[in-house]
Amino acid sequence: MPQSMFFPRVYWSPWDADVEFLPGDELPSESEGKIYAVIVHAFFGSNAVMADITDRGVCVPSGRLFLEETVDDAAVRETYEETGAYLDPKRRRLIGCYRMVRRNKEASAPNRVFYTASFVAEVTHFDPIPANSESKGFFLLAPEEIADHYFMWDDLLASVFDYAVSERERLFPLGEQLSAQNI
């Protein structure tokens, strides 16, 4: 992780939770049994792949885990379901997780703290988005355009997106370029 990277704690009202990002290539032990969802910072060429989700808006591919599903399998599935994108299995890595603590005092102790695994990945190609998807489509955005289109934006998301871009550059150095023919 770059020495200057800072991840502020923020409040996310849609989840009534205080949120922080924990960088790393492994999930923290305290997250066991508390992984709620995954998010995927997927890239096609130099652009980020963004889903346009009904009742949410533009965001990274993301979603809840199915029972008995691994976080890696969920990342692949959610990216495909929301964008039609196929992730390169050799260019997909866990980069950390969000730790969310619900403010609602009524929430039971086991459900008060939950985690969302965060991945960075590269897309090999696209198929049409499945017909039963909650997605209305997808966008390819330059990293500097994301803040203008994302359904919600704050200092934490800005820091995590910067981190995802830097991790992508570190983990997946430039090599074979994907062509528009793969779309």
* Reduced 3-state DSSP string for the chain: CCCCCCCCCEEEHHHCEEEEEEECCCCCHHHCCCEEEEEEEEEECCEEEEEEECCCEEECCEEECCCCCCHHHHHHHHHHHHHCEEEEEEEEEEEEEEEEEECCCCCCHHHHEEEEEEEEEEEEEECCCCCCCCEEEEEEECHHHHHHHECCCCHHHHHHHHHHHHHHHHHCCCCCCCCHHHC
Q: Is residue 116 part of a domain?
A: yes
Asked whether the predicted pLDDT for residue 180 surpasses 90, the reply is no
Q: Number of structural domains, the chain?
A: 1
pLDDT in tens, 121-142: 999 999 999 999 999 999 999 9
Q: Is residue 81 part of a domain?
A: yes
pLDDT in tens, 100-126: 999 886 656 556 899 999 999 999 999
Q: Is residue 85 part of a domain?
A: yes
- pLDDT: which is higher, 177 or 47: 47
Domain harbouring 117, CATH code: 3.90.79.10
pLDDT in tens, 10-58: 999 988 999 999 999 999 999 999 999 999 999 999 999 999 999 999 9
Q: Is residue 143 part of a domain?
A: no
The range of the structural domain enclosing residue 59 comes to: 15-96+109-134
pLDDT in tens, 47-64: 999 999 999 999 999 999
